[in-house]
Structure 1
């Protein structure tokens, strides 16, 4: 993540000094961190809580609510969720995509979480509603559930991914209080290649490749853009 940002800003300036000024200007334009968050918390952990929700909200967050920290509990589900949102990113562009493929760098990191105020939505009684909780196009039930959990003081919860083909688990935090660490336990640089039909990930220094086709995420041959009111894109 940070490597990608530095490369992006360097492309607009001629010197490292100008880059430092540009990054400082960009930083001042971003929302402030909540005062209740510890200064020692690493920015990769607190940044998800910094920004307002997307215009469609998120799976467990409404548009008027603070954002959540979402993560996968395995490498495979993390990449599957990331692949879906790479397609969302590409299909959200206005006009024609700038290139036949987009190559980007990303940081995959791990962090622990623990709380006495948590819920496992993959367990009873919630497991009786698995189909609704994993619905690929309808967020109204999960967003209402997210509001109820937030108001009840839930700090973190686990749930089954809606994007993984298998029963893979994700986790979400309403607050950084549930983190067991002030910084990521590990970090790894990954390359991503994005085309209209496929997302491919490869860790730096590794020969193993993870690929996801657009059709894996389709619903009735349409790509399910997360905005409930937005038209869906034909696959």
Structure 2
């Protein structure tokens, strides 16, 4: 493997991560009281994987991604046998595009959209600091010939191999081009210690509306962002993904 791909240095910055709306627990809809909800949450938590020891210093909402290994096809830099990775984006808009893509992939997998042809929902945008002494900037101009393989929208093989090598070498952060939004930069947090113990993410609440043409994000005050399906689809009109190519 090209030694330049494994070069690391100390970097720091702030990243965005989009998660489901956090103000109301889903289990509250099926319980009759706060006590019942607390008990149900305890029972559910007892049957989930244990948190990796290196993540126990984190705020609960930032700790969760490290708890679960990737699904059967893995993630961009993680094999399905490895500890989970927290992914975020340097730009809020990039994080929103990535989130919209997975909603479109969900719709794309349905033979009949029915009432899901339009999804209106809420999301929380998290903004927090990351820093690590061993970070790899995979967006560097010197790695231009590798960018398309690192951020291939339909294939994880090369990037997972690269991720495993970095994990074994003790790398904590990987900065890389978004596969869905070329102008955007994503971040893979491999080492939970790249997030400080006192880090409490700043949360902002957003509404989204998505159909098979566009995804609109907005919040009180008039701030909004919109991405079109055609911006992320390939020439066939579909959104490629490694799980669909297998």
TM-score by length of 2: 0.82
Q: Structure 1 regions of 5+ residues with no counterpart? A: 231-235
- Of stretches 101-110 and 147-156 in structure 1, the one that deviates more from structure 2 is 101-110
In 2 relative to 1, CA 137–2 (structure 1 residues): closer, same or farther, beyond 3 Å?
Answer: closer
Higher helix share: 2
Q: Count the aligned residue pairs.
A: 227
Q: 2:232 aligns with which of 197, 217, 228?
A: 217
1:141 and 2:162 matched: no
Mapped contact 2:58–2:198 kept (Cα < 8 A):
yes
Shift of residue 122 of structure 1? 0.9
Write the distance in 2 (CA, Å) between the matches of 1:27 and 1:200. 33
Mapped contact 2:58–2:196 kept (Cα < 8 A):
no
Q: Structure 2 regions of 5+ residues with no counterpart? A: 1-18
Per-residue deviation, residues 193-217 of structure 1 (Å, max 9, x unmatched) = 23233322123x2312222222222
What is the DSSP-based 3-state SS (H/G/I as helix, E as strand, rest coil) of the residue aligned with 2:48?
coil
Q: How does 1:1-235 map to 2 (within 5 A)?
A: 1=19, 3-4=21-22, 6-38=24-56, 40-92=57-109, 96=113, 98-164=115-181, 166-203=182-219, 205-220=220-235, 221-227=237-243, 229-230=245-246
Write the distance in 2 (CA, Å) between the matches of 1:101 and 1:56. 28
Q: Which runs of 4+ in 1 moved over 6 A?
A: none
Aligned Cα RMSD in Å? 2.3
What is the DSSP-based 3-state SS (H/G/I as helix, E as strand, rest coil) of the residue aligned with 1:113?
strand
Write the distance in 1 (CA, Å) between the matches of 2:179 and 2:88. 13
Per-residue deviation, residues 151-186 of structure 1 (Å, max 9, x unmatched) = 11111121111111x422111111111113533341
